[in-house]
Amino acid sequence: PTLRFSFPSCDRVPPPVLPFDDVSFAYPSQHEGDANPVLYENLNLGVDCDTRVALVGPNGCGKSTLLRLMSGELSPTKGTVSRHQHLVMGQYHQHSVDVLDMELSPLAFMKREFPPSVVKRTEEVSRSYLDTFGFTTRQQQSPIKLLSDGQRSPLVFAMLCMRPVNLLLLDEPTNHLDVDAVDGLARAINAYEGGVVLVSHDFRLIDKVAREIW
């Protein structure tokens, strides 16, 4: 398998962890007097550390918007989204690779993002860690800009796994991943102790990890 990683152990926060109370949402209109359609109306739902939900539907129906409401990136037009005070969320989305410094190698980038003052790791441990995400010795030392999209995505997961989180919000995490990598991601999700909300068109992954489909 090209991915053999695992998410770190986390504290399980007792419910309610992320309740929606009569939540409605519409994006602001671009022109005065215009009204954008309401994407969500009177949502009452809850997400906790046992949640394993896949959000499915056509493009543009609001799947990513719902994740952004969960994360706090967006605020409801009406209603409230509450978050447990001990909730720590980890996110993967299509723009996650934008945080990567293309001039640095994966090894140098991880050292910069998680310096020895934050994470005490020897060079050997750091190399071994990146190896579990499919990076060969050569790739670990090559500029990120020389890696393919499929090789950059696991680096985002490597960052995500550097700290424990109670809830994973995964928006199209299989983009650019090959079949073996998708299987490795599925194994990691199934072994994870926290909650998962997944947006995906990959029914191979959904079939392996989801307990509910919304």
Pull the structure tokens for residue 19: 């309740």
d(CA 164, CA 119): 13
pLDDT digits (tens, 9 = 90+) for 62-102: 999 999 999 999 999 999 999 999 999 999 998 889 999 99
At 61, phi and psi to the nearest 5?
-85, -10
DSSP string for 163-196: S--SEEEEESTTTT--HHHHHHHHHHHHH--SEE
pLDDT digits (tens, 9 = 90+) for 9-57: 999 999 999 999 999 999 988 766 667 889 999 999 999 999 999 999 9
pTM of the full predicted structure? 0.93
pLDDT of residue 119: 87
- Report the chain's mean pLDDT, rounded to a whole number: 93
